[in-house]
Chain A
Amino acid sequence: MTSLMIATRPAAAPAPTLGAALLRTLRSEFTKLRSVRSTYWIMFGLVVASAAWCVAYCLGTVHQWPHMSAQDRSGFDATQNSILGLALLGQLVIVVFGALMITSEYSTGMVRTSLTVMPRRGTLYAAKAAVFAAVSLVVAFVASFGTFFLGRVLLSSTHVTMSLSQPGVLRSLIITALFVEACGLVAFGIGALVRNTAAALTLAFGFLVLLPQLVRTLPVFLHNDLTRWVPGGDAINSMTATIGGQIPHTFSAWGELAVFAGYAAIVLLLGAVQFARRDA
């Protein structure tokens, strides 16, 4: 039995370069991600939740349309209505995806096995984050463009024009997908910080959903100063709107996204430091 083991022992290759090691770890992390069922359920859930919102809103609008004033009709943001579900519900789903990506390693104990075969922690963390980012980005873009076109079909009876060449539409689709992506990365970083699924989800939801609500309770002058720095909330409106003026006291859509991406980068970095420093 064991002689077979010797005969087939893979030749010890020369030490891999940093790039080669990262590439191998990326391949490994992709194998791990695609080989558990929950990955597919979560991606399916994200698309379905976004689409369900789109259907509910658009059908409601179609129903209301004959009773709406000309002013209401001209102020109706068809793009935002179609894709807002991705920003609001998709945000919740991707948080679960991002957190589980790392906390499931801790809940199963798999992280110790992973670190035994790839002990360079920075490489493992980077590969994990990159695989998650790539896969979830594809899903987020599918959902943002998918719901836009779904909305266009559903709203056809209203004869509202919906086209990618309209001002702000493409921007809105891209920013919404990137916003959702950033939510996932925040959850990933929090997962690495707390190493526990329930704690990571609670903190991520608190940060993304509860914090903006709390800021609203502040006195107006404080709220107006702070709101552009707060993740989610009003920011989502700025990011997704394609018609009408910019909401006061916020940055432009790209600016709001940049602020949010900054938060994601900070949390990811803190997670990396914890992942590298603490005992596994």
Chain B
Amino acid sequence: MIEARGLVKRYGSTAAVNDLSFTIRPGLVTGFLGPNGAGKTTTMRLILGLDYPSAGTVTVNGKPYAQLPDPMHEVGALLDAGAVHGGRTARNHLLGLAQTNGIGPRRVDEVLGLVGLTDVARKRSRGFSLGMRQRLGIAGALVGGPQILMFDEPVNGLDPEGILWIRNLMRSLAAEGRTVLVSSHLMSEMEYTADHLLVIGRGRLIADCGMAEFIARGSGQAVRVRTPQPDALAQAVAAAGGTLASVGDDGQLEVCGLTEDQVSDLAFTQGVRLYHLAQTRASLEHAFMELTADSVEYHAELPAAK
């Protein structure tokens, strides 16, 4: 259980985190979403006591993090997989962490096996790939067998196999009744992983609700289309007051704010050829873009769909 009450973190005149209150409950994967610069990492650093809040409080199992007697047994966190000394071997790195909480080398070797790093345990982590480093960081979070786990952007830069591994790990950790908080800006990934969502933008809470409810708060419904003329369709949709986003890699587009019939009529009058047209539940990505449109720090022109 993680509880934040009126959490504020100011850097100079800008508030990276502004009056955040939330409760992260056990047994769920809570997806912590927000555009880049929304304050996700800052919030996690505040939870871990790495940064001090300008106002408000945050507790872990009812106590400020710094007062946990053996934090590794209660919280496992991976904020930055690169935050290791590259000259140290994987095993020595983990051992150094574990010893502060009275955990011995046997458990370290066990966890190295758990994350699949046994073969490179005695290699310096400088030569590790991003995926291996991520596994090492996760091993550090798991060593103490904690009930609460926090991961900041864990799938960033991973290959599909690594992403799948992380996704399954999160799911099984939550299935065991643990509290899992995972931040990401990759909506499609969160759609697979998270049960509950905590959405922030510009440091403020936008939503704290279940996945289905969040999507329903947006337009809820969407129309999936496939077309060889995405640019023309994008213009027509925008002119008619809808929004268009690309989803997936197979050239599918998603239209929100317009019905199936309206999209079909638009395509007909504009002479845009459609290969596929179907009503669907809006994707998390679409709902997210609608609900956080005002809170994106740096706007870019939406690139024309390919």
Which residues in A have some Cβ–Cβ distance to B below 8 Å? 1-2, 4-6, 8-10, 12-16, 20-21, 24-25, 27-29, 31-32, 35-38, 104-105, 108-110, 112-121, 279-280
Contacts and interface: CB of A to CB of B under 8 A. Distances in A.
B100 A113 contact: no
Contact of A119 (B65, B84, B96, B114): B65
Contact of B52 (A15, A112, A279): A279
A112 B65 contact: no
Nearest to A124: B100
Given A110-B83, A280-B50, A5 B145 contact: yes
A192 to B, nearest CB: 16
Contacts of A279: 45, 50-52
A31 B96 CA distance: 6
Interface string B213-236: 000000000000000000000000
B65 to A, nearest CB: 6
A110 B77 CA distance: 13
Interface stretch (B85-93, B203-211, B263-271): B85-93
The 5 closest A-B pairs by CB, nearest first: A9-B145, A15-B69, A109-B83, A35-B92, A28-B99
A16 B50 CA distance: 21
B32 to A, nearest CB: 17
A20 B69 CA distance: 11
Interface residues of B, number: 50
B199 interface: no
Given A5-B142, A110-B83, A115 B88 contact: no
Nearest to B171: A2
B97 A113 contact: yes
B84 A116 contact: no
B102 A115 contact: no
Interface of B: 45, 48-52, 65-66, 68-75, 77, 79-80, 82-89, 92-93, 95-103, 107, 110-111, 114, 140, 142, 144-145, 169, 172-173, 176
B99 A24 contact: yes
Given A8-B110, A10-B144, A119 B88 contact: no
Nearest to B107: A10
Given A12-B70, A113-B97, A118-B71, 6 more contacts: A2-B176, A5-B114, A6-B176, A16-B69, A105-B85, A280-B45
A35 B89 CA distance: 7
A87 B69 CA distance: 43
A105 B89 CA distance: 16
